[in-house]
């Protein structure tokens, strides 16, 4: 399962290969504003999981 981290004001996003990778990437963010975190399934469908991982974002 992959996760896509989407940033505000930018066209790029960041991809995490698994949950642990996602948490590590979120802890390392400094000045970026995350607008959404999406779980991407193998079929290409994605669901927002922002509310689950908000606690790992630095305020």
Average predicted confidence (pLDDT) for the chain: 91
pTM of the shown model: 0.86
* 24: pLDDT strictly greater than 70: yes
Contact 39, 50 (CB under 8 A): no
Q: Bigger pLDDT: 58 or 25?
A: 25
Q: Where are the beta strands (DSSP E) in 1-59?
A: 2-7, 13-16, 34-40, 46-48
Q: What band does 4 get if pLDDT is binned at 50, 70 and 90?
A: very high
């Amino acid at each position: 399962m992959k996760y896509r981290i989407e940033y505000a004001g930018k066209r790029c996003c960041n991809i995490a290969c698994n949950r642990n990778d996602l948490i590590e990437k979120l802890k390392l963010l400094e000045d970026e504003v995350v607008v959404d975190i999406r779980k991407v399934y193998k079929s290409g469908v994605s669901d927002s999981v922002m509310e689950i991982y908000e606690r790992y974002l630095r305020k």
